[in-house]
Amino acid sequence: MNIFVLLKRTFDTEEKIGINNGRIEDDGAEYIINPYDEYAVEEAINLRDEHGGEVTVVTIGEEDAEKQLRTALAMGADKAVLINTEDDLEEGDQFTTVKILEAFFEDKEADIILAGNVAIDEASGQVGPRLAERLDMSCVTTITKIEIDGSTANIERDVEGDVEKVETSLPLLVTCQQGLNEPRYPSLPGIMKAKKKPLEELEIDDLDLDEDDVEPKTKTTEIFLPPEKQAGKVLEGETDEQVKELVSLLKTEAKVL
C-alpha cells in the first residue's frame, strides 16, 4: 500500500509569538509538526504495519522544515520529501500549496493520502479537500477511525460531537481529527534510524511549475495579536442585587442586551 502524509511545519502555539510591523518574528520562534498532522503520521504508520507498504511524508517549505520531516521519520515513516520553495516563492496560500501538491502526485500511485484536519496557524482546512478534488479522489474529513479491507475503507468521522459512518473506496484522501489515535514519541532508536532514511528534496522547477503557476490567489493584509483580556468583575451583595447589576452591565458595558 502506497501511503502518503501531508505535513506542515507550524509555530508552537504554546510558545510566545512576537509580531513586528505586521509580520511574525521568526527569530526565536519554536516550530513543530502541526499537531493534527501528527495524527495523520501515526495513522499512516498503523495502516502500513497492518497492511504493508510504505509511508512517505511530504511537506512544502524552506530547508528548516527538514527537522520536522526527520521527526516524522523517527516516529516510523519510511521516506520524506521536502518541496523547497525558499528560492522560488515569497508568499503562498492554499491555492499555491494544492497546485504544488497536485504536480507532485501527478506521477504517483497513492492508495491513501492522510492530512491533518486543519493547521493550527491558519486553520483553513482547505488543502486536503481541494487536493482530493484536483486528484479526483474520494475525500472524508475529520476522521476519528478508519479500517481498510481490500479496496474498501470504513470510516467514522466527527460531526459536531456526533459520529457519522462512511464507507468508500480507495484511492482516498482523509483529514485526521483528535481522537483518531495517540501519536507516539520518537524513540532513541527511531531517531538514529531516521538519520539514514531517505529524504528527497525537490524544487518547483522539478515539478514543471513556474512562479506564475503557483501565484497565490489571496493576500494577508494584516497580522495582529488578540487584545489582552480585561480582568473579570465579582458581583457582591444579595442575589437580586447581583442580578440587577449583571443585567445593567450586560446592557451598558457588554452591550449584548
Are 141 and 131 in contact by the 8 Å Cβ rule? The answer is no
- Considering only CA atoms, which of 52, 48, 70, 80 is closest in space to residue 186? 70
Q: Which residue has the higher pLDDT, 199 or 27?
A: 199
Lowest mean pLDDT among 9-23, 123-137, 146-160, 241-255: 9-23
Residue 131: C-alpha distances to residues 6, 183, 218 (Å) = 11, 24, 17
The pLDDT value recorded for residue 254 is: 77
Instruction: Please enumerate, as own/partner, the contacts of 147-150 that have beta carbons within 8 Å and a separation of 24 or more.
Output: 148/1, 148/47, 148/50, 148/51, 148/112
Note the pLDDT tens digit of each residue in 206-240.
999 888 888 888 888 877 777 877 778 888 888 98
d(CA 171, CA 135): 10
Residue 65 has pLDDT above 70, yes or no: yes
**Nine-digit cell string for 16:** 510566545
Note the pLDDT tens digit of each residue in 111-160.
999 999 998 888 888 999 999 999 999 999 999 999 999 999 999 999 88
Burial environment of residue 142 by CB neighbours within 10 A (0 to 12, 13 to 18, 19 or more): buried
* Cα 168 off chain centre by: 23
Domain positions in the chain are 2-207, 227-257
Q: Which residue has the higher pLDDT, 209 or 55?
A: 55
d(CA 77, CA 45): 6
Are 156 and 145 in contact by the 8 Å Cβ rule? The answer is yes
Its pTM stands at 0.84
Note the pLDDT tens digit of each residue in 66-121.
999 999 999 999 999 999 988 777 788 899 999 999 999 999 999 999 999 998 88
Q: How confident is the model at residue 39 (pLDDT cuts 50, 70, 90)?
A: very high
Rounded mean pLDDT, 156-169: 92
CATH class of domain segment(s) 2-207: alpha beta
Are 68 and 81 in contact by the 8 Å Cβ rule? The answer is no
